[in-house]
Structure 1
Amino acid sequence: MQTRPTLAIIGGTGALGSGLATRWAAAGYTVIIGSRTADKAKSAALEIATGNGAPPVRGEDNATAARLADVIVIAVPFSHHDATLREIREAIIDAPPGKIIVDAVVPLVPPKVAQVQMPAQGSAGQIAQELLGDLARVVSAFHNVGAAKLHNGGDIGCDVLVCGNDAEARVEVIALTAAIGMRGIDAGPIANSAAAEALTSVLIGINRRYKVDCAGIRITGIAAGA
């Protein structure tokens, strides 16, 4: 029987982070909520139910959560992205190289969050890979998933574009995506994350103009199970 990885959700007290944590805990994964303060993380962890034999969700400060996890998911606002990456870097510097970091951060720049505004480096995913270097395998994913869909317990009904320079890491993140009811699509190297991240602003605009909630994306033409 394959052992499920332990997941740290950095930014797990926010809407997207808590939604991902809720889904993975229900699917049987060991989940650790990370926050800048351990007390806030512990309080958030108490609100998340587990299933399929998973232990209770834990809450820790970001550095501790990162050290304890096999896979680290970063789900913080873009304004906190750089500081969080540096905090995670210090936490994993003594770990064996190659830990998977899933960067779900989108470079939204208020107040015009419905307008694409990409950083000079290309994307948040590229910033993460550049800063972490050989310490980690950065995979960019979950940018176009509405947090409300993760929390409502129903069918999410959208695909997830998964980008990263390491093909094996992309496969692992695609498996994590499937575990919580979505289809992961291998979208190639981390440079392609710019397209996925930019789509978030496009979807925010679509939500507003069409007065809908949580518009998502579907990739057509790929057979089920491919």
Structure 2
Amino acid sequence: MTIAILGGAGKEGSGLALRWADAGHRVVIGSRDPARAVEAAAEINAAIGREAAAGADNMSAAAAADLVVLAVPYAAQRATVEGVRTSLAGKILIDVTVPLVPPKVSRVQLPEGGSAVEAIQKLLGGDVRVVSAFQNISAHHLKHLGAEIDCDVLVCADDKEAGELVVGLAREIGLGAFYGGVLANSVVAEALTSVLIALNQRYKVPGAGIRITGIPRD
């Protein structure tokens, strides 16, 4: 699968890109600055010892991909989606957006209407299957290849098939992952990120996470 990661030069996006490239997928890093995307791709290729990643502008990355990941700050979420909208039709869009409002990032500040990711599904309509995932996994863990990640991922989507596909992609890179229901439920994962940031600050740790209990694991 070819996976485009818009915002893939950032901490979270580059961590996901590294993990998927290492798992055997072709990754295209998208950025407003193509040179930065090319640099990020080169770092990934050097880390895994083969050519699995390439860099491009956001539109070119989205057009080249089977599946697109949105990993940009909340302030850039809508503008980035609108900029690549014509390349998203018929595809799955994994939205990693967390509605953090600096400087109070450890305080939950959800947008009007609740889920920031659900708002993107409403914007794009039925031509794009939007899936919410990866809001609660720290980039600190993703960057350490080979290290076990003690964290689960909540995956929410109105399209169950798309949701389960993303569950599989999360498990491929060493994460526990569970389908958490419809896209409106994404509000829980989005809000939980601020709680995890508060835990990081209070307990002086780099990447607090969550675990789902009571469900048998594969």
Superposed pair shares fold, TM > 0.5: yes
- 2:32 corresponds in structure 1 to 36
Residues 81-100 of structure 1 mapped to structure 2, 5 A cutoff: 81-92=77-88, 95=89, 97=90, 99-100=91-92
Q: Which amino acid aligns with 1:147?
A: A
How many percent identity over aligned positions? Answer: 52
What's the RMSD between the two structures over aligned residues?
1.6
- 1:172 corresponds in structure 2 to 165
- 2:189 corresponds in structure 1 to 196
Q: Which amino acid aligns with 1:204?
A: I
- 2:140 corresponds in structure 1 to 148
Deviation at 1:47, TM superposition (A): 0.5
Deviation at 1:224, TM superposition (A): 1.4
* TM-score relative to the length of structure 2: 0.95
Contact 1:103–1:124 (8 Å) recurs in 2: no
Contact 1:25–1:51 (8 Å) recurs in 2: no
Residues 24-173 of structure 1 mapped to structure 2, 5 A cutoff: 24-49=20-45, 55-92=51-88, 95=89, 97=90, 99-153=91-145, 154-173=147-166
Contact 1:107–1:118 (8 Å) recurs in 2: yes
Deviations 1:9-68 (A, max 9, x none): 100000000000000001110000000122211111110037999743110100010011
Q: Distance in 1 between matches of 2:45 and 2:138?
A: 20
Q: Which amino acid aligns with 2:97?
A: V
Count of residues in correspondence between the two structures = 217
SS, match of residue 115 in structure 1: coil
1:183 correspondence with 2:179: no
Distance 1:53 1:167, change over 3 A: farther
Q: Distance in 1 between matches of 2:42 and 2:189?
A: 32
Deviation at 1:6, TM superposition (A): 0.8
* TM-score relative to the length of structure 1: 0.92
Contact 1:78–1:105 (8 Å) recurs in 2: yes
SS, match of residue 49 in structure 1: helix
Structure 2 regions of 5+ residues with no counterpart? none
SS, match of residue 219 in structure 1: coil
Contact 1:100–1:137 (8 Å) recurs in 2: yes
**Which aligned segments of 4 or more residues in structure 1 are displaced greater than 4 angstroms?**
50-55
Pick aligned residue for 1:206 from 199, 206, 213: 199
Deviation at 1:155, TM superposition (A): 1.1
Deviation at 1:165, TM superposition (A): 0.2
Pick aligned residue for 2:215 from 216, 219, 222: 222
